[in-house]
Structure 1
Amino acid sequence: MAKFDLIITNGKVVSASDISTCCIGVKDGKIRTLVDSFDPEEMEGARVIDAQGAYVMPGGIDAHVHLCQDLKTGPHGLGGECSDNFETGSKSAAAGGTTTIITFATQTRAEEDRSLLHVVKAYNARAEATGSYVDYGFHIIIVRNDADVLEEEMSVLMKDWGISSCKLFLTYETQRLTDSQLLDVMFAAKKNSMTTMIHAENGDMIQWLTVKQLCNNAHECSEKLESKGMVAPYYHALSRPPLVEGEATNRAIALAQLIQNPILFVHVGSALGAANVRRAQTMGLPVYAETCPQYFHLTWEDLKRFHSPTCFENSKMICSPPPPPDTSDQEELFVGLENGTFTIYSSDHCPFRYDHPNGKPSGVLEDAASMEGEHHCTGKELQSLLERKQGAFRLIPNGIPGVETRLPLLYTGALSTGRITPQKFVELTSTNPAKLYGLYPKKGAIMPGSDADFVIWHPEEAFQSFKLTNDMLHHNVDYTPYEGMEFSNWPRYTILRGQVIWEDGKIQGKVGDGEYLKRGPSQLVRGVSKATKDPRCVAGWLYE
């Protein structure tokens, strides 16, 4: 009987703290040993991968992935429908070096979604309907504050499902909570050792900037973006200046501090938002932040990328928060990667097709002005319509694809340029997500006993850089925001629990290889005792 199933040799093995040149032995899906070398008899019967001096890292953990979600909130019931299910989305993840994804079971305000357990069971059925190429877990999005549900079901989510994180919104009419409602859910999360994720944009500011308002005499009070005719995709960014994120991060920090609740700000995209997070961390508060590739590689100018500023094709670039106005914010964000302001680096993969009525085109199909004298259409007729109409940015589903490009973008833009170290790369993309969301050391580590999840890169001196095209990717999306971008490396192998699922440009795994992961409490949550007991800021008596 073979001592090992898989052996990796000649690799620069990277953890969140160290780099070492060693060999790895894998048996039964687990890392068994790290040694200088193996004897020939130890290698007998094992598959041997020669890393050829390239980086060997823990498999990527993408903690912000949207799959199988319906966001059909438009006036005519179209709106967004995620184009990736668990099969296509996880296949794309594997091709990009990611071995674990955490996706979102989404509550709505419909009465049938009042029960969080019902929401999770229904979402789990979607995952099981196709299966996954990689391991996966769930967050829960909560948009209601029903006291009995929070009291009775949050503990069940934690105990039976291993769902140790919930996401709350400060924007979107169908999802945002008032401050009082936010406190209700945060308080329940705190009592059940759940980490609260916050989408921090001030919804009232966005609406005020966007939608025209009428005075009592039925005349418009003030000229907003829509009344000025500024409705094309580019103006999405103007409706969400960085101050929108700045206000919301400040407010959420205050709410969380009041009840001592640990929070994670998702997709922080501005230097202002990052500065607020950094200030809270300096105070000793358990405040964490996530950022994403789009905030380092796109700007407002990308919303003018195509032949006209009003070209609807620019809807492909719309995400929330939008990327920063220019590259000056990006420099500040790079500092945040290195100094620890950002705890994790995720994709916020939120895929919508450009050739489907429930994708980006719903921004035209849902817009009365654009559809006057027209009819809903598909196929070539739909594309012809999009070439003639500018739509309305507030009706365009917010989100871009990125689960496959996440790690290569960070490698190209930060690791190969020396902006971050290999250790920081691993910390941001694997180890910290595992710790933050209760998966460490099963995931996110290269140590005996951990799952044998790896991403092995190409040796840098042997890899020829290339320009990306969408047909190279494996998602079910008909575009990538990073079309034409030059990449300096790409995963050569992706290995899930000792099984090679991606090798030299080809998928080797199969759907169903991935397993559902029950998670525990965050292993990062901590706070300075003085900061958590100051009665001027903390209502500590709530827990007495």
Structure 2
Amino acid sequence: MPRFDTVIKNGKVVTASDITDCWIGIKDEKIHSLAAQFDEEDLIGAKIIDAEGAYVMPGGIDGHVHLCQDLKTGPHGLGGECADDFATGSLSSLCGGTTTILTFATQTRSIEDKSLLGVVERYNARAEKTGSYVDYGYHIIIVRDDEDMLEEELPRLRDEWGVTSCKVFMTYESQRLKDRELLDVMVAARKNGITTMVHAENGDMIEWLTDKLESKGMFAPYYHALSRPPLVEGEATNRAIAMSELVQNPILFVHVGSTLGMDNVRKAQTQGLPIYAETCPQYLNLTWDDLRKFHSPTCFENSKMICSPPPPPDSSDREALYVGLHNGTFTIFSSDHCPFRYDSPTGKPSGILEHPDSMEDESFVAPTTLEEAHQCDKHALADLTDRKDGAFRFIPNGIPGVETRMPLLYTGGLLEGRITAQKFVELTSTNPAKLYGLYPRKGTIQPGSDADLVIWHPQDKFKPFQLTNSQLHHNVDYTPYEGQTISNWPRYVFIRGQLSYSEGEVLGRLRDGKYLKRGSSALSKGLPGKKDPRKVASWLYD
């Protein structure tokens, strides 16, 4: 019997701590051995992959991916249907070097979604309907604080499903929790060892600013940025940190896009508080200018760039955010892949279709049901988007990015010297594995770990190229990073020892991906010692 199924030779093997010139032996889906070189008899019967001196890294783990979600909040309920299901989203993930994705089972306020277990069961059916190219797990989005739900169902989600992370919102009328509701969820999460993820934007400030902008006739997509200035995130992160400290619950801020938010996180970390943060490619590669790049600031095509929080006002934040990646302020680097099509009435154009003023006197009849929306005449819809500005409040917030996440950071961070190769691995793989209860099965290269691996091209043999959407594998008709220079791309990608992507060719199969039951976070819970009663309600847990 062969000693190894596959051997990777001549690679620079990178972990979060080291870079080593060595060979990797893979057996039965696991990393079996690391050695300076294997003997000839060790290679008998094994598939040999020559890394040619390139980096070999753990497969990427993207802890923030939206697939198969319905986020319809407009008057007609049209907008916010994710363009990617598990088939297309996981394919896109694989081709960009990400071998594990964590997606969101979303509770709503309808009576049907009162049970978190029911929410996860129904969401899991969507994943099983198609299967996945890569391994996957779920977060649960919580939008209510029912005592029985928190007391009885969170422990069962943890034990039966391995769902050990929840997300809460401080904005969006249909999803946000009041402060006392946030505290209820935080306390329940703490008791059950569940990581609390926080979307931190002040919802009242956003709604007030939106009303004021609209009163001045400022409806176009660009004004989305003005409705969410960085102070909105700065206030919300500061408030969430105070709540976290009060109840001693670790939290992770998702998609931090401003230096105001980042500085609040850094200050809390310096005080020893268990506060973590994530940032995303859009905050390093886009600015407010990208919200007015198409033809004019009022052109509806700018809706393609709308996400929340929006990118920073200008490029001055970029270097500061890179410093946050370098110095550990940001624990993880995720895509926040939230895909909406531009040619679909349940995507970005709902910003027009949901806006009564835009549709007044139009011969094109706006669909009033999802069935009608899916039968919509795309030629008529394209004509409408060419002529109308719509209203930014109805445009679904989100952009695609799961496939471009790692190549963008490799190009702008690693190759530019802003972060090291070890830090790249820490941000894109190791820390997500630790934060979300997957380490050391995932997120590192050591004997016994899953053989999820990415081999990059030797840098001196790779020809940089200008990115186009046609090169990507998502089910979205645009990329916000169109035209950006990419200076390396995954050459080989292994999923649990199987070569699934090779030199631009997909070798994996749709149901290769497995569901992952996760444990609790392996990251620090904060400094030990006596808590200041002026800040901490330690008696809650007596």
Describe the SS at the equivalent of 2:509.
coil
The Cα RMSD (Å) is 0.6
2:351 equivalent to 1:366:
no
Cα pair 1:169 1:198 within 8 Å, conserved? yes
The alignment of Structure 1 onto Structure 2 pairs a total of residues equal to 531
- 1:73 to partner: Cα distance: 1.3
Structure 2: how far apart are the matches of 1:428 and 1:138?
19
1:46-82 Cα deviation digits (max 9, x unpaired): 1110000000000000000000000111101111100
**Match in the other structure for 2:326:** 338
In 2, distance between residues paired with 1:77 and 1:528?
46
Q: SS state of the match for residue 81, structure 1?
A: coil
1:58 aligns with 2:58: yes
Aligned equivalent of 1:326:
314
How far apart, in 2, do the equivalents of 1:200 and 1:537 lie? 21
Q: How does 1:307-326 map to 2 (within 5 A)?
A: 307-326=295-314
CA displacement 1:243-283 (0-9 Å, x = unmatched) = 00000000000001100000000000000000000000000
Q: What residue is the counterpart of 2:412 in the other structure? A: 413
- 1:496-535 superposed matches below 5 A: 496-530=495-529, 533-535=531-533
8 Å CA contact retained: 1:436, 1:525: no
Match of 1:218 in 2: none
Aligned pairs (5 A) from 1:153-164: 153-164=153-164
The alpha carbon displacement at 1:230 in A equals 0.6
Quote the residue 1:537 is aligned against.
535
Name the counterpart of 1:73.
73
Cα distance per residue 1:458-511 (max 9 Å; x no partner): 000000000011010000000000001111000001101000111101111010
**Aligned-pair identity (%):** 72
Q: Which moved more, 1:273-282 or 1:39-48?
A: 39-48
Match of 1:396 in 2: 395
**Structure 2: which amino acid aligns with 1:409?**
L
Partner of 1:206: 206
Distance in 2, matches of 1:130 and 1:533, equals 49
Match of 1:29 in 2: 29
Residue type of the alignment partner of 1:93: S
Contact 1:357–1:378 (8 Å) recurs in 2 = no
Alignment of 1:104-123 (within 5 A): 104-123=104-123
More displaced stretch, 470-479 vs 69-78:
69-78
Match of 1:219 in 2: none
- Structure 1 segment 186-335 matched on structure 2, within 5 A: 186-211=186-211, 224-335=212-323
**Distance in 1 of aligned mates of 2:123 and 2:134:** 17
SS in 1 for 2:214: coil
- Encode CA deviations 1:99-128: one digit per residue, 9 max, x unaligned: 000000000000000000000000000000
What TM-score, normalized by structure 1, do the two folds share?
0.97
- One-letter code of the match for 1:244? V
Paired position in structure 1 for 2:137: 137
Q: Contact 1:68–1:84 (CA<8 Å) still a contact in 2?
A: yes
Give the Cα separation in 2 of the matches to 1:101 and 1:476.
Answer: 17
> How big is the shift at 1:378?
2.8
Note if 1:386 corresponds to 2:374: no
Residue 214 of structure 1 corresponds to which residue in structure 2? none
TM-score, reference length from structure 2:
0.97
Residues 13 and 21, structure 1, Cα contact 8 Å, conserved in 2: yes
8 A contact 1:356–1:378 mirrored in 2: no
CA contact (8 A) 1:87 1:511 kept: yes
Query: What secondary structure does 2:215 align onto?
Result: coil
Tell whether 2:140 aligns with 1:148: no
Query: CA separation in 2, counterparts of 1:210 and 1:49?
Result: 55
SS in structure 2 opposite 1:435? helix
- In the TM superposition, what is the alpha-carbon distance from 1:541 to its structure 2 partner? 0.4
- In the TM superposition, residue 443 of structure 1 has moved relative to its aligned partner by 0.1
SS of equivalent residue, structure 1 residue 341:
coil
Q: 2:406, 2:438 → 1: CA distance?
A: 19
Superimposed CA distance per residue, residues 330-362 of structure 1 (whole angstroms, 9 cap, x where no aligned partner): 111011000000000000000000000000000
Matched, 1:165 2:165: yes
How far off is 1:533 after superposition?
1.4
Deviations 1:87-106 (A, max 9, x none): 00000000000000000000
Letter of the 2:328 counterpart = G
Q: Which amino acid aligns with 1:86?
A: F
Secondary structure, aligned partner of 1:542:
helix
Deviation at 1:38, TM superposition (A): 1.0
Q: Distance in 2 between matches of 1:271 and 1:239?
A: 17
Q: Residue 525 of structure 1: CA displacement?
A: 3.1
State the AA in 2 paired with 1:279: K
State the partner residue of 2:372. Answer: none
Match of 1:455 in 2: 454
CA distance in 2, matches of 1:313, 1:492: 33
Q: Could you tell me which runs of 5 or more consecutive residues in structure 2 were left unpaired when the two chains were aligned.
A: 367-375
Q: After the TM superposition, which parts of structure 1 deviate over 4 Å for at least 4 consecutive aligned residues? A: none
Find the aligned partners of 2:79 and 2:400 in 1 and give their Cα distance.
Answer: 17
Q: SS of the residue aligned with 2:4? A: coil
- Per the TM alignment, residue 39 of structure 1 is displaced from its structure 2 partner at its CA by 1.2
Residue 2 of structure 1, CA deviation: 1.0
Separation in 2, partners of 1:198, 1:462: 42
